Amino acid sequence: MYDVIILGSGPAGLTAAIYCGRANKNTLVLAGNSLGGQTGEIAKLENYPGWQGSGMELIQFMKKQAESFGSKIKFTAAQNITTKEDGSFSVVCDNGEILESKTLILSTGASARKLEIDGAKELFGKGVSYCATCDGFFYSGKDVIVIGGGNSALNDALYLADLAKTVKIVYRKSEFTRAEAILRERVASKENIECVYNTELQSIKPTSEDRLIATTTKDESIICDGVFVAIGHEANTDYLSEDIKRDEMGRIIKESLPEGMFVAGDVMSGIKMQIATAVGTGCTAGMDAIAYLNSKE
């Protein structure tokens, strides 16, 4: 029986693990299949105070810090959760293991929203990608498209511009209203980035030359080598029962959680999806779990 099981190994979960470990609570982090969530995919992290480096470097630092206080990391994910009669929780993992804990902290984050057009699913991993830092290397000197208009899309375009021959950002609106000004300025200054506004992709098909042809809502065709998708995120909550309420983005509404269960990070409703806010809510969730456990002693 653990004191605390934390679902998710991003900044929120690892921050909670640091606090719970320092409070001498028997703490386990279920990291899923890979460490760090979305943060681990950031090539250059600029907007987290006090840090210069990649997202994965930050995650590795936080992991070591959590482990130094006794928190354990296990690479498996929760499949479902049940509340036991005594108020503790049973977690069934995807490796078949069943774990028990007095408290749970849900910090499973969010995943990239999939592009729902003809060819996108079929060509995933064959020209369609949801991770520029993972797959950008394969498109060195080639022509690529980025779909989206927020910070993630513009960051992806800037990253790819240093690798690819050309980058086209295809966006359904007339301007990048959701992206930070500094990113808009950097995109505008890059000679090999072109912005295609008021446009959406309708389909993606392979060509006979092992390239892609993307058709648009303007009845135009764009020949490219890769399509990178950055159109938002959906909360990772498939392991939860329907009695836990979610908002329109699928994120957890804190007030619907049972006693002893806490939430932090991008999976939590009502917060900005930033590393700084994830760390803050991870701190809060960790301290709330500690106070709950202490009240039961």
Residues identified as active-site:
131, 134-135
Beta-carbon contacts of residue 42 (< 8 Å; ≥ 6 apart): 54, 55, 56, 133, 155
**Non-local CB neighbours of 284 within 8 Å, separated by 6+ positions:** 264
Provide the 8-state DSSP code for 86.
Answer: T
- One-letter amino acid for residue 28 of the chain: L
**Quick one: 129 exposed, middle or buried, by C-beta within 10 A (0-12, 13-18, 19+)?**
buried
Chain centroid offset of residue 61 CA: 18
Tokens 């939430």 locate to 263
- Contact in structure between 185 and 157 (CB atoms under 8 Å): no
**Does residue 227 contact residue 202 with C-beta atoms inside 8 Å?**
no
Position 154: which residue type?
L
Can you tell me the distance from the alpha carbon of 273 to that of 267, in angstroms, rounded to the nearest whole number? 9
86 to 52, 89, 254: CA distances (angstroms): 45, 9, 21
DSSP 169-191: EE-SSSS--SS-HHHHHHHHH-T
